[in-house]
Chain A
Amino acid sequence: MDIVLIIEMIAAAVLAAVLYTIIGVAPGTDETAVLAPVTLAIVLAGVEPIVVLTFFISAIVANKVTDSIPVALAGIPGGVMATPMVEHALVLKKHGMPDISIRKMASGSVIGTLVSVPVSLLMAQALIPFSDVIKEYANPLFFIGAVLLALMTKNKVLALVSILPFALLIEGLRHLYWGIGVVPEGTNVFISFFLGITIGPVILTIFELLHKEKRDSMPRFPKKTIDFAQTNPIKGFPSPFKILTKQETASSVLASFIGSITFIMSPVGMTIFLGELFSSRVKDPVKKASVAIASMEGLTNATYISGTLIPLIALGIPLSPMAIGPANALFNAPPVFTTEHNLHHILSNADFVWATLIGATIALAITYFVTVKYAHKICAFVFRWVPHEAILGLFFGLVLLLAFMDAGFINIIGVLVIGLFAGMLHRWGVNYGVQFMILYSAPWIITWF
């Protein structure tokens, strides 16, 4: 590896860590929605594959560490993955310990990263012998994945029944585009449909604003009053291992390990399940909350890293909720990456290790420093100056741009259609995982008829 490439990787990691520290803190930002479009743009811009991976790893680590800052300070999740922690963080906040809560979360993140990187590399090596078999059945596996994830949702029958209509909608649009000649036959429009699903809930809400009765009946709120907890600035930099008690360290390590090997499961589901499992035996409310946030933070970090790295190294097809969602651009971003030619095929094992190490180390160094020292200032800045409208506008602009680049003006309407349908499914509880699996298996499902 030459020195220029290493410098590029370091620069990409620093950029990702800074960018995703801000995005991570902003409330209500869904991980898929904030990670996927930016990663896609970088891939499509033709950045070196190894630099892309470094950027992505740094982005997920930074995003994970910082999206829990507002949870600790104000009880407001900075992202979907931070939601399970709200309850426990509020206990610590009530006891006047938001700063301790932040430090314990940051330490949990460090542990999660340290555990998941080696475990993912080992798991991937163990899976490689089976990869040919798995790849051969990739299409049915995506369909099975859709069915399995559907069975794990609240409204199982609804989720199952929606698989075929949604597949038909996706393929219907693709065939229409071929029919009128906006894309060459055989080219599957993918990126913009993916983003249409991601931004679906917002598109549905915007449509509802045009519906008079709906608009009038929408609950209205005054400005949200955010109760900021006070923090005590600390001097020096405590080691992450000294911040956690032995019990917290042990449960974070164990939770991260289990999270890494269950990379195929839903990260939010595992976080809630394991976090509650580990903390349920602790009686004292403050200790219980500390164990819960430290192990949950470690676990979410671990599921993110392993969910990206294991399918990427061993398979080259996105067979995990993480890979098919936020990390999707690393697997499939035509014309640069396809499922036959992506990071899995381009990078060597050593490349994966280097990209992961550089990305994770830089992100941890920057965000750990920042969270322990400046959490309060950053949080106040973002809450005070970044309006939610601007974030929604930014995503809308990105979707518009990528939709147009995929298949011209007609695709902007196509993405609206996908977004409306997907947004409705999402509101009914058919989560992103199910919908992305359908998007992948749609061409195969249509061959049944």
Chain B
Amino acid sequence: MDNKNRQEANDNIEVWEDLVRIKDLVLAIAICAITTMGAYFIAPNEAPKPLFFGLAGALIGFIICSFIIKPKRNFKGTGEK
């Protein structure tokens, strides 16, 4: 397992104390931007609904990203005894 991981390309950079792959980061930002602003604009135009829609959009973007992007972390150790 360890060996295989070492052969993977070193293509992660550090942003805000954790690793990201540039392509994935661009993708995540694009997805969240589209879902957030998309939801904001389709909301009925009476306060505070656009804000709520926008927040829900941001959350949906976050969930989509969590599904399609793999974290750049490997695990050692077996966890709970």
What is A's interface to B at a CB cutoff of 8 Å? 27-28, 30, 41, 44-46, 77, 201-202, 205-206, 209, 215, 218-233, 376-377, 380, 383-394, 396-398, 400-401, 404-405
Contact = CB atoms under 8 A, between A and B. Distances in A.
29 contacts: A28-B16, A45-B48, A201-B16, A206-B25, A209-B22, A220-B10, A221-B13, A222-B6, A222-B8, A224-B18, A224-B19, A224-B74, A225-B75, A230-B77, A233-B81, A376-B80, A387-B66, A390-B65, A392-B28, A393-B29, A394-B65, A397-B32, A397-B33, A397-B36, A398-B55, A398-B58, A400-B33, A400-B37, A401-B40
Contacts of A400: 33, 36-37
Contact of B76 (A41, A44, A221, A226): A226
B11 interface: yes
A387 B31 CA distance: 14
Contacts of A405: 40, 50-51, 54
Given A397-B33, A398-B36, A405-B50, A225 B74 contact: yes
B58 A30 contact: no
B75 A228 contact: yes
Interface residues on B, range: 35 or more
B28 to A, nearest CB: 3
Contacts of B61: 393-394, 397
A224 B75 CA distance: 8
A390 B71 CA distance: 9
A396 B54 CA distance: 12
A384 B40 CA distance: 31
Given A228-B76, A228-B79, A396 B40 contact: no
A390 B69 contact: yes
A384 B75 contact: yes
A45 B69 CA distance: 31
Given A220-B11, A222-B6, A394-B32, A389 B20 contact: yes
Contacts of B31: 393
Interface in B53-72: 54-55, 57-59, 61-62, 65-66, 69-72
A383 B66 CA distance: 11
Contact of B21 (A219, A233, A389): A389
Contact of B17 (A27, A232, A376, A386): A27
B29 A392 contact: yes
A45 B77 CA distance: 44
A231 B80 contact: yes
Nearest to B35: A397
Interface of B: 2, 5-6, 8, 10-22, 24-25, 27-29, 31-33, 35-37, 40, 48, 50-52, 54-55, 57-59, 61-62, 65-66, 69-81
A429 to B, nearest CB: 16
Contacts of A230: 77-81
B73 A223 contact: yes
A162 to B, nearest CB: 21
Contacts of A220: 10-13
Contact of B24 (A383, A387, A401): A387
Contacts of A377: 80
Contacts of B62: 390-391, 393-394, 397
A389 to B, nearest CB: 4
Contact of B5 (A223, A227, A387): A223
A28 to B, nearest CB: 4
Contacts of A77: 17
Nearest to B31: A393
A384 B62 CA distance: 15
Contacts of B11: 220
Given A228-B77, A393-B61, 6 more contacts: A46-B48, A221-B12, A228-B76, A387-B20, A388-B16, A388-B18
A391 to B, nearest CB: 8
B75 A383 contact: yes
Contacts of B32: 390, 393-394, 396-397
A449 to B, nearest CB: 36
A171 B54 CA distance: 28
